Chains A and B, each alone.
Chain A
């Protein structure tokens, strides 16, 4: 089946530093990837939609200069949290959608990355 990986699975960083999270589709090409944020005991909130070869589309209220998204290939999207602060601590989850009609209603989710900013 379709597998999506995320790296790292967890990261602890100091306030003010930048952190990069990778999302990879291992056995399929993903023209579209989604980045979500999940606070403890809460639902997933869509942050942005990442399309291969073009700029990401950010949801209202999400700072694009704060959360940099790059989708440089059909199997890799990265989320960089710049100048991280404690309030950025969260569980970040990506999902990938296969191309074509088969991917219209399908999202495969990664295992998530827990970011803790001290």
Chain B
């Protein structure tokens, strides 16, 4: 099955700096890569996603890049703010005859210091 590795596990940045979180996946059949933000005690919230026919996607301060050849994708947050502090999960979706499923990375705890 699919395996998703996520790095780093913790990331501390100063407010205003950029943050980058990287994920690698194992199965070349994966074609959908969402990123979720989870604040303490809250639900995971979809913040951005990318499909395998696109190399980059941007939404205001958040961008995601995908390298299908290398099987890795990254989340970039620019001009970080204290409210960006949360745990971020990447995921990859693989299709098979039984249906599709998301495999999550281990998570990155981002701390933005004011």
Co-assembled chains A and B: no
Which A residues fall within an 8 A CB radius of B?
Answer: none
